[in-house]
Every structure is written in C-alpha cells, then in structure tokens.
Amino acid sequence: MKNSEITIIGGGVIGASVAYHLTEMGANDVLILEREAEQGKGSTGKATGGVRAQFETEINIKMSLYSIGFFTKFNELIGVDCGYEPRGYLFFATEENQFDYLKKNVEKQKSLGVKGVKIVDTKTISEIAKGLNCEDIIGGSFGANDGFINSLGVMEGFTEKSKENGAKILMETEVFSIETANSKVKFVETNRGKIETKTVVICAGAWARDLVKTTGIDLPVEPLKRQIVWAKSEKNLPENLPMVIDLGSGFHFRPVRDSKTEVLFAYPEADEKPSFNTDFDESFIEKIYKRAKYRAPFLAETNVVREKCRAGLYENTPDHHAILGGCAIEGLYFASGFSGHGVMHSPATGRALAEIILEGKANFLDVSCLSLERFTKGKLLHETAFI
C-alpha cells in the first residue's frame, strides 16, 4: 500500500492551489490524485476567466479581495503568467430593485476596502461598453479592478510551484472511495490500489458529492451545465470592453484575451436541471443570438466559432457559496461547491485550507461561515448576483 500524509483528490485549479499553499507552509508529503490523463479537463478548463469583487456577501467580497491581490503578484510569486487583466466588470440594471441592489452592494464593497468600484449612470455605461443598447438601462455598477484571468495558467502555475516545493501528482488515478475507521480517515481506494493517508482534501469539483457519500456524509453539491458561445466579428469589436452583465437575465459577454474581434457570451438557462451532461446544445446558439441582437447589435453580427463553443459544469450548493473546511470525520476536508467562482477564489481557498489543515483554522480570513455545518444549522448565506 502506498501512503501520503495529505491526499488531495482532484487536480483542477482548487486542488493545485491547496497543494501550493500547503507546501509553501511547509507540508512535505502532499499528493494530488487526478483521474484524467491531463489536468484541466473538469470545470477549470471550461471557465470564462472572470474575476470580480462585486459580490453581495462579505465572505465572497473578502475572498475576492484577497484573491485579486494575489493575482496581481502571481507572476512574481509563482513564475507563471496568470493573465490577470483589470478590464473591469460592468453590471447593469433595467429595474429599480436591481439598481438598488447594486447601490447597496457597492456601499458594502467599499466599506470592506474594495477600490475602484462605483455606481454608474446610463451615459457612463454607454461610454464604457460602446455599442450596448442602453434604452432600458437605468444604471449600473463598475469595478475597475475586476477583470480576467487565465484559468489554466492559474492552475498550471499553482501545480508547477507545488511540485517544485515537493508535492507529487498522480494522473489517471481515480478515487473510488474514502475509507474511515473510528471517524478518522484511513485510506483511499483507487484504480491503482489503496493509498494510506491521514488527511484527504476533496477538490473534485462537480463530482465531489458521490465521492464524499462513501464516508456517509452528504455534501450538497450539484452539477449544473453552463454553456459558452465563442464568436468572431468581421470588424473590430468596440475597444476596451470589460465583462458586461445584465443583472436581470444573467446575459453576459467578454472579449477574448488579446483579440480585437473575438468574444465569449453566455447566459444561465433557468430550466437547466442538475446533471453531468456537458454536451454543447446547438439550440443554445439561436437562443443567445436573440438576446444578443437586442442588447448588443455588434454581437449579433458575429459568426460562431463552433469548435470553440463549450459546455461545462457549475458545482452549485444550495446557497451558491463554497463549502470549505473540515467535518465530523477527522482528517476529511472540503474545498468544493464554488457555484461558478472557483477560479477567481482559488488563491483564498488554497490558503484557507492550508491554514485549517496545518494550524487548525484559517487565520488570514475567517471562513467559518462556509463550513458544511451551515446547512444543518440553517445558517445559509444569501447572494443574488450569481451568474
């Protein structure tokens, strides 16, 4: 039987960040198990690459503040380009209650130290996102330090640095179960046999629930398909487009990195049911172009780059917040359920888990409100602006 002190299940951006932070803090026997032949095949490789501090809850805002700060020094610390580009996030409102919500959030964000975030009027919105149909827009909010990151770059950077620090990664290694005795982790069963371990960190993205069920614990994480259309315009897109989001419908778009003509756009389909289906649905193209035609005619004039369109899985929890930390089983920890924000929150998550495992609690930021216990204690969080 092989053994390792700390075993991380899942080699996406979260597993990589947890490994990096553990090894930076001195853990020297860290093993990542990834079932695929290469990393990034889960949600990390499907992400839009957005990062924002414009959230409603204090914990999400603080996780973002820490993470954006980390991305600004990522290249220097890790030696890999994470692609952080502060191009901004523009949320717009078409109804008074949405605008009030943005105003309230901006006040909270500012009070927690978010810089460069402000309420904007319709005229300013039309200047930030030229070509946007603003006829029904009543206002919005703009965060100048929000923007884009390269999801795979972040994952690769964390992985490489953790390997330099001594972590190991075993590919094509699927974990079937986590075995416990006397409420303590003993070993994990894999397609390569048993691996003895005292500590398991669940970083298995949308697939975490079934795995955790082998310990008798229910981790409320549901997979939900999200699709992205990739398109190319014959003329240049309006300059300096940020991420643009309709708060009411969740319709959003962003320019492709280093391209003047390519754009990604998406919206959450309200009737999507939880499943592991990641087939891109052709009918989505027609539905989204209908929205694009009204909101941004320059998007409607683009041509779909079919081979780059994709569908991936959000890993949703009932309150759209991550589940971080330990549980009743000694040695079992979760970094799961990011509900669409795992890439942007990966630095804060990695540090939180490393501190919880090695020091007993996250000292740099109190993440106790994200514990699994909140679901049994009825202490759910509330965030409306999930997209």
Ligand X SMILES: Cc1cc2nc3c(=O)[nH]c(=O)nc-3n(C[C@H](O)[C@H](O)[C@H](O)COP(=O)(O)OP(=O)(O)OC[C@H]3O[C@@H](n4cnc5c(N)ncnc54)[C@H](O)[C@@H]3O)c2cc1C
Q: Which of 46, 295, 320, 374 binds ligand X (CB under 6 A)?
A: 46
- Token duo for residue 68: 């954006």
**In degrees rounded to 5, what are phi and psi of residue 213?**
-55, -25
Give the separation between CA 170 and CA 31, rounded to whole angstroms.
7
Min dist CB 228 to ligand X, Å, is 5
Q: Does 152 interact with ligand X (rule: CB under 6 A)?
A: no
Q: Does 314 interact with ligand X (rule: CB under 6 A)?
A: yes
Q: Does 11 interact with ligand X (rule: CB under 6 A)?
A: yes
Q: Does 228 interact with ligand X (rule: CB under 6 A)?
A: yes
Q: Which of 373, 365, 295 minimizes the C-alpha distance to 328?
A: 373
354 and 21 Cβ atoms separated by less than 8 Å: yes
Give the separation between CA 385 and CA 50, rounded to whole angstroms.
14
Min dist CB 49 to ligand X, Å, is 5
Q: Which of 11, 10, 14 minimizes the C-alpha distance to 347?
A: 14
Q: Which of 2, 24, 25, 41 binds ligand X (CB under 6 A)?
A: 41
Interstrand relation of 184-190 and 175-181 (parallel, antiparallel or unpaired): antiparallel
- Interface of this chain with ligand X, residues 90 to 149, rule: CB under 6 A: none
Min dist CB 211 to ligand X, Å, is 5
Secondary structure, 3-state, 259-316: CCCEEEEECCCCCCCCCCCCCCCCHHHHHHHHHHHHHCHHHHCCEECHHHCEEEEEEE
Q: Does 43 interact with ligand X (rule: CB under 6 A)?
A: yes
Q: Which of 76, 95, 93 minimizes the C-alpha distance to 84?
A: 76
Residue 82's Cα: distance from chain center in Å?
14
Q: Which of 7, 8, 10, 284 binds ligand X (CB under 6 A)?
A: 10
Q: Does 352 interact with ligand X (rule: CB under 6 A)?
A: no
Q: Does 174 interact with ligand X (rule: CB under 6 A)?
A: yes
Report the DSSP beta bridge partners of residue 229: 265
Of 37-45, 179-187, 283-291, 378-386, which segment contacts ligand X by CB under 6 A?
A: 37-45
Q: Which of 18, 19, 42, 153 binds ligand X (CB under 6 A)?
A: 42
Residue 238: DSSP 8-state: P
Q: Does 298 interact with ligand X (rule: CB under 6 A)?
A: no
Give the separation between CA 286 and CA 319, rounded to whole angstroms.
31
Q: Which of 70, 284, 333, 338 binds ligand X (CB under 6 A)?
A: 338
Min dist CB 320 to ligand X, Å, is 11
108 and 55 Cβ atoms separated by less than 8 Å: no
Min dist CB 301 to ligand X, Å, is 23
Q: Which of 62, 320, 341, 374 binds ligand X (CB under 6 A)?
A: 341
Give the separation between CA 187 and CA 195, rounded to whole angstroms.
5
Q: Does 350 interact with ligand X (rule: CB under 6 A)?
A: no
Q: Which of 175, 247, 332, 357 binds ligand X (CB under 6 A)?
A: 175
Give the separation between CA 71 and CA 153, rounded to whole angstroms.
11
Q: Does 356 interact with ligand X (rule: CB under 6 A)?
A: no
Min dist CB 129 to ligand X, Å, is 18
Residue found by looking up tokens 């090894």 in the block: 23
Q: Which of 4, 18, 35, 129 binds ligand X (CB under 6 A)?
A: 35
Q: Which of 18, 63, 211, 309 binds ligand X (CB under 6 A)?
A: 211
Q: Does 62 interact with ligand X (rule: CB under 6 A)?
A: no
Give the separation between CA 348 and CA 361, rounded to whole angstroms.
13
Min dist CB 33 to ligand X, Å, is 5
Min dist CB 340 to ligand X, Å, is 5
Give the separation between CA 229 and CA 23, rounded to whole angstroms.
38
Compare residues 237 and 266 and give the one whose CB is closer to ligand X: 266
Residues forming the site for ligand X (CB under 6 A): 9-15, 33-36, 41-44, 46-50, 174-175, 203-207, 211, 226, 228, 312-314, 338, 340-344
